[in-house]
Amino acid sequence: MNTSPETPVAEPGSNIACLIIKTGRRDCYAHFYPALYQLTLVKSGIEEKIDLGYSGSRLLERLLQEPGEVVSRDELMNHAWADRVVGQGSLNQQIYTLRQVLGDEKSREIIQTLPRRGYLLNPSHLVYPPSIEDIGAVDEPIAASPPGQAFLQRHSRRRGSWLALLGSLGLVAAGLFVGLYLFSLPARLHSSELTLGQVSVLYVDQDEQRLQQLILDTHGLARRLAELSDKPAELILGNSGGFFELLCMQPGGGARSLMVHDSQLSQLADAQLTRCLP
35-39, 146-150, 181-185: which has the highest mean pLDDT? 35-39
User: Which pLDDT score, from 0 to 100, does residue 16 have?
Assistant: 46
Q: Are 144 and 150 in contact (CB under 8 A)?
A: yes
CATH number listed for the domain at residues 2-132: 1.10.10.10
pLDDT exceeds cutoff 90 at 73: yes
What are the distances in angstroms from CA 209 to CA 27, 143, 151, 191, 215? 19, 18, 20, 11, 10
Which of 153, 146, 183 is CA-nearest to residue 166?
183
pLDDT-derived band at 121, boundaries 50, 70, 90: very high
User: Which pLDDT score, from 0 to 100, does residue 250 have?
Assistant: 80
Q: In whole numbers, what is the pLDDT of the chain averaged over residues? A: 75
Q: What percent of the chain has pLDDT over 70?
A: 71
pLDDT exceeds cutoff 50 at 269: yes
Instruction: State residue 48 phi and psi, 5-degree precision.
Output: -135, 115
What are the distances in angstroms from CA 186 to CA 15, 141, 143, 218, 238? 16, 10, 9, 22, 13
Q: Identify the residue with better confidence: 164 or 22.
A: 22
Q: Are 190 and 139 in contact (CB under 8 A)?
A: yes
Domain segments of the chain as ranges: 2-132, 138-276
Residue 61: CA atoms inside 13 Å, Cβ hemisphere, count?
Answer: 22
User: Which pLDDT score, from 0 to 100, does residue 192 have?
Assistant: 83
pLDDT exceeds cutoff 90 at 24: yes
Q: Identify the residue with better confidence: 149 or 98.
A: 98
117-121, 131-135, 217-221, 244-248: which has the highest mean pLDDT? 117-121
Q: Which region among 40-44, 109-113, 169-173 has the lowest average model confidence (pLDDT)?
A: 169-173
Q: What SS3 state is found at 82?
A: coil
Instruction: Tell me the pLDDT tens digit for each residue of 136-179.
Output: 444 444 343 333 333 323 333 344 444 444 444 433 343 344 44
